[in-house]
Amino acid sequence: MTIKTFIPFYDIKNHPDEVLIIDAHHPLGFDLSHWRGAPVPEGCEADTSTEIVLKALEKGIPELDKKYVTNNHYDIDGFLGIWAVCNPDLAIQNKKLLIEMAQIADFREVNYNNPQWKLALKLVCLLNKLEAEKFYPPFGAPDIAEKEMEACVPKYHYFLEEFGKYLLSPQKVVKTEEYHQIMREIEGEISRTTLPSIRMHIAEAKNPLHYYNLYAQSQQADIVMSIYGENRYELEYKYTTWVSTTRKHYPRISLQLLCDTLNALEPSEKKWTAEHFTDTAPILRLQGKKLSKKERYLSPTERPIYSSGISPEVFKNICIEYFEEFYKELEPGETLEWNEVRRINETLFKSVKN
């Protein structure tokens, strides 16, 4: 297979038809990506871009002979996919570990049945630490003229050089504070329930949980509701419904009417809000100051979650009934194009207004 050279995403125009696009999409390149609308080679369908790449490597698809590889952003799933095409033999040897890492990093899902889950979690936490210390955290690109497309390039150069050292010497993978925090939470008391009929996972704990713990057992769900002590709640659409996966899920629906219902009952001065359903991961929450994208990406342990005057049972029942009502007319299926999701929402909520 041709040795790959990483190039910035904006340089694709100088190498038409010679570039692999990992975890993104560009009409002049060949996609290996789970992005919505990106074509996936037959037989390479998977949940993460990393696994799509690994399947392509195993099949030996001819497009892998392209000279260049790129992405328009840095995240661990995209990075691992690019690292895999640059190091195909080592990537195949560590296939299960890389897939677990991508699932943890992109979907925040830890699979406790994977014998390598602790090593995968340690590696992801280490990459998170190095990214923040040496560069900037996700959605925290410097406030300068360059955007993420440009600012992420040094990250790729650094991690493509360094990652193999940790993979070959796992004993050198340090346990970060983030890793210790997650392991402490796992030992705590967490109540979990998954409602298959609406694909919702409910996690209840005394204090806010790290995302990798909150989502750890939510593989069969698309929505996660968190119930914390002192009447603190959040509800979030998972990223798994923003990208294309092999999972069948309901199309996202607007959370505005749910916010209206909760606001009619909320005795405090704060308001229930949620991002539009086209956001990467909309969060329904009682809002003080508006959170930035960077703040919303951070774990619930890193942001304020305010106490509500609504009881846990009432909040839980209202949310469950909301999705039961609107999902009864829908069926789980593949990820739809946004224009179709908008059409479905218009039809559903038009009937409510009428």
Token pair, residue 107, equals: 């979907």
Token pair, residue 324, equals: 């039961």
Q: What is the DSSP letter of 329?
A: T
Sheet holding 68-70, edge to edge: 5-6, 68-70, 19-22, 30-32
Give the start-end residues of each E strand in 108-197: 191-195
pLDDT score recorded for residue 353: 62
Residues of the chain with pLDDT under 70: 143-146, 353-354
259 touches 315 (CB < 8 A) = no
**What's CA 43's distance to the chain center, in Å?**
23
Report the distance separating Cα 316 and Cα 195, nearest Å: 12
CATH assignment of 188-353, among 1.10.20, 2.60.120, 3.30.1330, 3.10.310: 3.10.310
| Tens of pLDDT, residues 275-289 | 999 999 999 999 988
Q: What is the DSSP letter of 246?
A: S
Q: Structure pTM?
A: 0.95
Can you tell me which residue has the tokens 């990992």?
A: 22
> What is the CB-side half-sphere exposure of residue 91 using CA atoms within 13 A?
22
| Tens of pLDDT, residues 166-225 | 999 998 899 999 999 999 999 999 999 999 999 999 999 999 999 999 999 999 999 999
Residue 226 β-bridge partners? 203, 234
In the chain, CATH 3.10.310 sits at: 188-353
